[in-house]
Chain A
């Protein structure tokens, strides 16, 4: 509490210099709150938004697969990792793998389509999918991050690989 002063004939713990500083803080606070809302609308705080999603091609393959993911996710919030596999003259089988460290850092809730087989192979978890020969396929992993912070993912498909980082908000 500020010292009691006399204003006119009123005893009061008014502190005008403190009050003036407080008004500046209030203005900054409202500006910060507005900024947070704008960041939320843009998707920079996770969820949806124009700046949240990212679509990149894998490297190392002649016809690379595309990977769609969200750069920002939230702890205990759902997020998707989508792999768009190119059409290949193959035997109707596609292999997709994810790094073990990524799988351990998330809770995979749903894989669409359901893989025919899952294999643990060294530092990778390998998923085998049945596909129509000569046609591309879309594979979607739905998961929840288990911990806040930077989430590293290394994934691969159709001879290509991609490493990306997702930021998980608490």
Chain B
């Protein structure tokens, strides 16, 4: 029982931390973010298994996490408000080539982040070429160019 409770506690704490620290926390993993992620996983691993390093305990922890994740996905599907609460909403950050700076500041997104995404996904060079930039629920920035790119 203890392993299940420990795993569920860690699952909920991680869910809350990643949710409340913003969409962009680990959306684009830099080298340092990757190291941070490894440290977080190492710290949580010990909290979940305690001093029991048996295979049974490891299997129990893994299955608890999968069941919790699946259960939450089912709940989100049946309760749209919960889904919105846990996953958030997309947010328009650039409209007709104009960066909405107040929103960008609130969600900690720089113009350079938007231009980077525009270059990577659409091959765009300038802000004026962007029709819309949207901060998605996943933390990624999606770009809609002013005109469809033709070959």
Contacts and interface: CB of A to CB of B under 8 A. Distances in A.
Interface of A: 1-2, 7-8, 10, 12-15, 18-19, 22-23, 25-26, 29-30, 33, 76, 170
Nearest to A26: B22
B91 A19 contact: yes
Given A1-B83, A8-B96, A76-B51, A18 B21 contact: no
Q: Which 7 A-B pairs have the closest CB atoms?
A: A29-B20, A15-B89, A23-B106, A10-B132, A2-B89, A26-B22, A7-B92
B84 A15 contact: yes
Given A8-B95, A10-B144, A22 B88 contact: yes
19 contacts: A1-B80, A1-B83, A1-B84, A7-B92, A10-B132, A12-B90, A12-B92, A14-B90, A14-B91, A18-B88, A18-B89, A19-B88, A19-B89, A22-B88, A23-B107, A26-B20, A26-B21, A29-B20, A33-B17
Nearest to B17: A33
A13 B9 CA distance: 31
Given A10-B92, A76-B51, 5 more contacts: A13-B90, A19-B89, A22-B88, A29-B20, A76-B50
Nearest to B95: A8
B8 interface: no
A53 to B, nearest CB: 24
A123 B47 CA distance: 34
Contacts, number: 49
Contact of B134 (A12, A18, A22): A12
Interface of B: 9, 17, 20-22, 50-51, 80, 83-84, 88-92, 95-96, 103, 106-107, 132, 134, 144
A8 B132 contact: yes
A29 to B, nearest CB: 3
Contact of B21 (A7, A23, A30, A76): A30
Contact of B92 (A14, A18, A25): A14
- For A22, A29, A30, A33, the residue with the greatest tally of chain B CB atoms inside 10 Å of its CB is A22
A18 B83 CA distance: 13
Interface SS of B by simple majority? mixed
A7 B95 contact: yes
Contacts of A19: 88-89, 91, 103, 106
A39 B132 CA distance: 43
B53 to A, nearest CB: 14
A33 B21 CA distance: 9
A100 B103 CA distance: 61
Nearest to A8: B95
Nearest to B87: A1
Nearest to B89: A15
A25 to B, nearest CB: 6
A2 B93 CA distance: 18
Nearest to B96: A8
Contacts of B89: 2, 13-15, 18-19
